[in-house]
């Protein structure tokens, strides 16, 4: 049975610095009727924290509370979700997972420009080299909805956004066709039942 969402939910993920927020900003200009959720901001606004990690100097997100807040919004469809963690969203709520990748020396420069601590830069570079975010996505979602896209340059980012918009259009077309088929099958099986 098809999802009853009229528009897909897109999860844009990747190691910090790979370009999620910048890509989402471009994407939202093209999909202006979609809602954008930067989960780090969302967790802060909705107080979805369960503690503070002193070593990482970052808040620990209460994933249950986060999902309680987010699920009703995602059920509506038409969402662009931006977070480096991707394995907390139930598969039924996500239609496309884009994992952005970045060359390590470029990623180093971006994280350094952000004034991240050396240990935090190293942790993220290691995660990117080992493909941790991609692996999490592959373990959490069906193979056919996980797409890995390189995002080292502005040209690549623009091409990635074009690809995502094309994918959304295809989803909408297939979904419309699928819903029509389901309705027709529903009508014909109703006919059969009455035979």
Ligand X SMILES: Nc1ncnc2c1ncn2[C@@H]1O[C@H](COP(=O)(O)OP(=O)(O)O)[C@@H](O)[C@H]1O
Please report where in the chains the tokens 């999860």 appear, as a residue: 11
Q: Is there binding between residue 104 and ligand X (CB under 6 A)?
A: no
Whole-angstrom distance, CA of residue 9 vs CA of residue 67: 15
Closest CB 169 distance from ligand X, rounded Å: 22
Closest CB 20 distance from ligand X, rounded Å: 3
Q: Is there binding between residue 16 and ligand X (CB under 6 A)?
A: yes
Closest CB 124 distance from ligand X, rounded Å: 9
Measured from the CB atom, is 24 or 74 closer to ligand X? Answer: 24
CA distance to 66, 87, 147, per residue, from 56 (Å): 20, 20, 29
Whole-angstrom distance, CA of residue 4 vs CA of residue 74: 12
Quick one: which of 77, 87, 83, 103 has its CA closest to 23? 83
Q: Is there binding between residue 20 and ligand X (CB under 6 A)?
A: yes
Decide if 21 contacts 27 (C-beta within 8 A): no
Among 8, 14, 95, 171, indicate the residue that binds ligand X (CB under 6 A). 14
User: How far, rounded to the nearest angstrom, does the alpha carbon of residue 156 sit from its chain's CA centroid?
Assistant: 18
Q: Is there binding between residue 58 and ligand X (CB under 6 A)?
A: no
| Joined tokens for residue 49 | 């924290």
Q: Is there binding between residue 28 and ligand X (CB under 6 A)?
A: no
Q: Is there binding between residue 154 and ligand X (CB under 6 A)?
A: yes
Among 3, 28, 138, 156, indicate the residue that binds ligand X (CB under 6 A). 156
For 51, which DSSP code?
E
Among 5, 11, 19, 133, indicate the residue that binds ligand X (CB under 6 A). 19
Rounded-to-10 torsion of CA 179, 184, 189, 192: 180
The piece of 18-26, 41-49, 69-77, 85-93 that touches ligand X (CB under 6 A) is 18-26
Measured from the CB atom, is 82 or 95 closer to ligand X? Answer: 82
Decide if 108 contacts 158 (C-beta within 8 A): no
Please report where in the chains the tokens 């471009």 appear, as a residue: 26
Q: Is there binding between residue 37 and ligand X (CB under 6 A)?
A: no
Does 77 show up as a binding residue in the annotation? Answer: no
Which residues belong to the annotated binding site? 17, 19-22, 114
Which residues belong to the annotated binding site for ATP? 17, 19-22, 114
């Amino acid at each position: 049975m098809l999802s009853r969402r009229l528009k897909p939910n897109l999860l844009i993920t990747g190691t910090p610095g790979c370009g999620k927020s910048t890509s989402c900003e471009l994407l939202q200009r093209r999909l202006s009727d979609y809602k954008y959720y930067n989960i780090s901001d969302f967790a802060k606004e909705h107080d979805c924290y369960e503690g503070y990690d002193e070593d990482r100097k970052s808040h620990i997100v209460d994933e249950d509370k986060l999902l309680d807040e987010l699920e009703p919004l995602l059920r509506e469809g038409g969402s662009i979700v931006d977070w480096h963690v991707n394995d907390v969203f139930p598969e039924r709520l996500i239609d496309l997972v884009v994992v952005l990748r970045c060359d390590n020396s470029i990623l180093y420069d971006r994280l350094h420009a952000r004034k991240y601590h050396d240990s935090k830069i190293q942790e993220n570079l290691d995660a990117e080299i080992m493909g941790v975010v991609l692996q999490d996505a592959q373990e959490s979602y069906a193979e056919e909805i996980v797409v890995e896209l390189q995002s080292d340059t502005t040209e690549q980012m623009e091409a990635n956004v074009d690809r995502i918009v094309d994918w959304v259009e295809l989803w909408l077309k297939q979904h419309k066709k699928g819903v029509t088929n389901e309705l027709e099958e529903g009508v014909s099986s109703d006919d059969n039942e009455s035979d």
